[in-house]
Amino acid sequence: MIRRVPSLPDSPSSRKRRRPFMSLAEKTPPGRDRYVDFLRAFSICVVVLGHWLIAVVYVRDGEISGVNALHVIPGLWIATWLLQVMPLFFFVGGFANLVSLDSIGRRGGDYAQFIRSRVDRLLRPTAVYLGLWIPIAIGIDLFTGFSDEVQEMAFELLTRPLWFLGVYMIMIGLAPFMLKLHRRHGFAAPAALAAGAVIVDVVQLSLEMPIVGALNYFFVWLFAHQLGFFYADGTLLKLGRRYFAAMALGGLAALVLLTTLGPYSSSMVGLVRERSNTNPPTICILVLTIWQVGLAMLLRDRFNRMLARTKTWAKVIALNAMIMTMFLWHQTAVLITVGLLYPLGFPQPEAGTAQWWLVRPLWVASLTMVLALLVLVFGRFERGVKPRSRPVPAGVPRA
């Protein structure tokens, strides 16, 4: 009779290889604000989903064309009041930069170390993205017969993820100075930024000086970034739910007034036939920030209860470990999906029709599968390669 030898329990190293994100989730320090990591992942995922939903691409009679669904579907602009979540990303960025500055300061680090720590993870996947696509784009331009219109559409899709990286790196560079203003002047700092944004809008609209509007890339996005400081130092949390409700309702009411009685477009993303609220940003994006931050803080306790579950938290960690890769490559997924599925008869109904809406889930599911493969290939560059001798840090990737 052969006796069955009982299997040995898994070693910690083997368990970690099979479930690294669960391992990180279990080691998360009790004091970590998990909601910040959730908001970062959520904001980028919503941007990806929003771009996919409004992208309408046709291939007919061998010709490729495209249109923005916001241009052809009446009333769809209302979705941008929720799906334009870049304010949340910059808000979270302010939180993260304060935490990083304080941590580096406690260790005796300097400005260069702060910049390196914050920019490194942004530039690694971006360098890979550009290193691959620049020669491909040159090759397409030199050796293919695509029309200028098709190449321009593809170029816009592929470069769209890059605009905010430049702005965000400026925010990182200014973070030490803005933190000094925060600690010296408190709420006067974002109030001054808001006033600057209003003055810029008045000048560019009344005097027809659109070039002045570029200043709002600083005033508006720094405003969102500055609010993140108040979250990081605990000031925002002390205000309470009534204040958050006032922020949400006040911001929403101001947005309604600005877009109905004022000279601003109802859409929070740029439209061809209307003045853009994002390029450059207007005070509509500023009040959108107030509305979204107020709403996010109202929902914080509810989501924190969910994030206390290890499996849920592990999924957030996993998303944050690949979030930049997802963002950079999500428009590439559109081109690949069109190239692979359209020749096989993927439906191409007119935008806004009932069939178009019915096909949207299939469209998003197809893009998700393609993007998952791209993340599988390129995600390693975002995470980087750590020496084996270094211990795995407790907690999750840096905020």
Segment 337-364, tens digit of pLDDT: 998 999 999 999 999 999 999 999 999 9
Sign of the dihedral defined by the CA atoms of residues 33, 37, 40, 46, in that order = negative
**How many Cα neighbours within 13 Å face the side chain of 117?**
20
pLDDT of res. 1: 42
pLDDT of res. 146: 66
Burial class (CB in 10 A: 0-12, 13-18, 19+), 98: buried
Q: Looking at the predicted structure, is the pLDDT value of residue 4 above 80?
A: no
Tell me if the bond preceding 280 is cis, omega within 30° of 0.
yes
pLDDT of res. 395: 37
The answer to whether the beta carbons of residues 172 and 97 sit under 8 Å apart is yes
Sign of the dihedral defined by the CA atoms of residues 24, 26, 29, 31, in that order = positive
The answer to whether the beta carbons of residues 321 and 379 sit under 8 Å apart is yes
pTM (global) more than 0.95: no
Q: Looking at the predicted structure, is the pLDDT value of residue 399 above 80?
A: no
- Classify residue 3 by its DSSP letter: P
Q: What CA–CA distance (Å, rounded) separates 210 from 221?
A: 18
pLDDT of res. 156: 72
Q: Looking at the predicted structure, is the pLDDT value of residue 388 above 80?
A: no
88-142 tens-digit pLDDT: 999 999 999 999 999 999 999 899 999 998 888 888 999 999 898 888 877 776 7
Least confident residue range of 62-76, 85-99, 136-150, 211-225:
136-150
Mean pLDDT for the chain?
86
Q: What CA–CA distance (Å, rounded) separates 166 from 155?
A: 17
Q: Looking at the predicted structure, is the pLDDT value of residue 187 above 80?
A: yes
28-55 tens-digit pLDDT: 888 899 999 999 999 999 999 999 999 8
Q: Which residue has the higher pLDDT, 32 or 385?
A: 32
Closest CA to 394 of 25, 11, 95: 25
Stretch 314-338: mean pLDDT, rounded?
93
- The continuous run of DSSP H or E covering 198 comes out as helix 188-206
Q: Looking at the predicted structure, is the pLDDT value of residue 392 above 60?
A: no
pLDDT of res. 188: 97
pLDDT of res. 101: 95
Task: Give the domain ranges of the chain.
Answer: 34-383
Stretch 261-281: mean pLDDT, rounded?
85
pLDDT of res. 148: 67
Closest CA to 96 of 189, 286, 227, 184: 227
Burial class (CB in 10 A: 0-12, 13-18, 19+), 60: exposed
Share of the chain above pLDDT 70, in %: 87
59: β partners = 64
Provide the token pair at 289: 């920030």
